[in-house]
Amino acid sequence: MIIRRERPPDRPEILAVIEAAYPGAAEARLLRELFASREYLPELSILAESADGEILGHVISTRGWIDNVPALGLGPLGVLPARQNQGIGSALMHASIDAANELRETVIVLLGGTDYYPRFGFVPADSVGIASPDPSWGSHFMALPLTGFHAGIRGHFRYAEPFNGL
């Protein structure tokens, strides 16, 4: 398996992966809008590819803010259903975290499963002073402080504009 940055010609296949991973859900539409948004960060759009060139999974982080401090919002993350539970999602998460650290980003936040994301170091966001856009998300709204994080980064998180349409 190869982990690399997404390129624009990859997008139709990436969107097909996300549609397969989330049938009938809004994730593919969201991803399409994120690609076109001003908050899109090409260096944080990462895919997993088989040796024969098939795209197996994809993860994206886009620009978000904690009050006025730049931060990252992760998602969607998707893997082809037939290839799930083979470590592809984990490899994408590690690559995404590494890329964000290399860029000296402050923090990654996400809304996700409390049984999956803590293995990568994510904690409830409120435990590091980051308030969720929706308080009902509770502990499912998580944060991973990165190398650029410091205790003065506190406040309400705001996702990239396309998330507002969900």
Q: Which two tokens stand for residue 23?
A: 């049938």
110-121: burial string, b at 16+ Cβ within 10 Å, e else: bbbeeeebeebe
Question: Is the alpha carbon torsion for 28, 29, 30, 31 positive or negative?
Answer: positive
pLDDT confidence of residue 24: 87
Task: State how far the Cα of 129 lies from the Cα of 63, in Å rounded to an integer.
Answer: 19
Instruction: Provide the pLDDT for residue 42.
Output: 97
Encoded amino acid at 58, one letter: H
- Please report the domains of the chain, with CATH numbers, ordered by start residue: 2-165 (3.40.630.30)
Which stretches of the chain drop beneath a pLDDT of 70?
none
| Predicted pLDDT at 125 | 98
Return the pLDDT at 151.
Answer: 87
Class of residue 28 by CB neighbours under 10 A (exposed 0-12, middle 13-18, buried 19+): buried
Cβ–Cβ under 8 Å, residues 72 and 160: no
Distance between CA atoms of residues 52 and 13, nearest Å: 14
Of 60, 56, 62, 74, the closest CA to residue 17 belongs to: 56
Q: Which two tokens stand for residue 27?
A: 């994730």
